[in-house]
Amino acid sequence: MPYDLDLLDETAWRDLVDRFGYRMWAVARAFGLNSTDAADAVQAAWLRLVESAHTIRDPERVGAWLVTTTRHEAARILRGRAGDAPTGLPDEIPAPDGDPVAVMLTEEHGRRLWAAVDTLPMPCRSLLRLIVAAPEAGYAQLARRLDMPIGSIGPTRIRCLKRLRSLMEDER
Amino acid sequence: MNDEEYLLAALRIASGADPVPARVSVEARAVYGLRLPGAVTAGPVELPTDGGAWPLSGVRSAIRSDGCSAEGEPRLLRFAADGLTIDVEITVCDSHLDLAGQMHPAPAKGARVEIRTPHVSKIRFPSETGEFATTGLPHGWLSVVCHRPGDPPVATRWHRIRR
């Protein structure tokens, strides 16, 4: 059933919050944002939904759009925190459908990812576990916990995530 | 495509750690009450590079409250839609925000300005030259809505202000 946002009733709105709130939160935290900033990123997506006023035809697509928009806003907040000059202008609002990868953010997909993580060599296994368990841990903290040089955390993180992704692609 | 964050997010979801804080869900539900059916959304526009053209310094000095003056320059924002331009100047203080603004062209009689945060709404009646101001807003998201007699309301995009 198509929803017109102006007519969307509160029950349907709460249903969107229940179905997609956790995925939005997880995406914001995956950027390493603290809880205040992550909460801002999630709230941004809901506010953008209110102001974009497009017709909602399919709740799954709206869900993907909310997740994608959370990701955009989280990236923007992170850039601001990193001291990049803010332009004062918000990013473009994502296209109505969101990006297709956002749809894959399910518990089932996560479980298959964990199974793949368990097959990765060290230090990837430990590094990814720590990053997930302690989203706000900086590279210095990760380096201490894993007894690795701080300069190698970033490149190792990228390499481990690439390996994980290619394992998942092989599985398909 | 760079989907690292999505991989990490999916891992986080399956791990079940770090559930959504209750207040995040409460706030998400509350956004429903912020809908403005029929309103026109005013997007941000670039400010003129000539800073001297900025008109609001008189309003700002009138409202600036104690404890804010030493903290950097105020944030200047301009939004436009439906023939209306809304200038907003925000002073970030330790515990709150002060806001001064002006709408162009000057509003017709009976216009009012609503300064909104997710939890607070303040109504101001703009001066003959379209100026308005308020103090004591919480840090976080805010939007300015101009209600014009006979025309649809114009609401600025929500904008996040934190230190």
**Exposed, middle or buried by CB within 10 Å (0-12, 13-18, 19+), for A9?**
exposed
pLDDT surpassing 70 at residue A98: no
Q: What is the pLDDT of residue B122?
A: 94
> In what helix (H) or strand (E) does residue B160 lie, and over which residues does it extend?
strand B159-161
Q: Distances from the Cα of B122 to the Cαs of A90, B115, B145, B161, in angstroms?
A: 24, 5, 10, 17
pLDDT surpassing 50 at residue B78: yes
- Give me the amino acid identity at A109: H
Q: Residues B85-98: pLDDT tens digits?
A: 999 999 988 888 99
Domain's final residue, options A67, A82, A99 = A99
A169/B62: higher pLDDT: A169
Evaluate whether residue A26 is within a structural domain. yes
Nearest chain A Cα distance for residue B152, angstroms: 14
Tell me whether B125 touches chain A (CB under 8 Å). Answer: no
The stretches of chain A forming alpha helices (DSSP H) are 10-30, 35-52, 59-81, 107-117, 124-133, 139-146, 150-171
Q: What is the pLDDT of residue B111?
A: 93
- C-alpha to C-alpha distance for B18 and A133, rounded to whole angstroms: 8
Evaluate whether residue A19 is within a structural domain. yes
Give the residue-averaged pLDDT of A45-59: 75
Name every chain B residue with its beta carbon within 8 A of the beta carbon of A133: 15, 17
Evaluate whether residue A87 is within a structural domain. yes
- C-alpha to C-alpha distance for A151 and B155, rounded to whole angstroms: 46
- In which region does residue A159 sit, left (phi positive, over 0), alpha (psi from -120 to 50) or beta (all else)? alpha
Q: Residues B109-161: pLDDT tens digits?
A: 889 999 999 989 999 999 999 999 999 999 999 999 999 998 999 999 999 98
Q: Residues A106-131: pLDDT tens digits?
A: 778 888 888 889 898 888 998 988 88
Q: Distances from the Cα of B94 to the Cαs of B43, B75, B121, B137, in angstroms?
A: 28, 15, 21, 11
Question: B74: domain CATH number?
Answer: 2.60.40.10
Evaluate whether residue A36 is within a structural domain. yes
Nearest chain A Cα distance for residue B73, angstroms: 13
Question: A125: domain CATH number?
Answer: 1.10.10
In the beta sheet, which residues pair with residue B84? B81
Could you list the residue range(s) of the whole structural domain that residue B47 is in?
38-161
CB-closest option in B11, B118, B141 to A110: B11
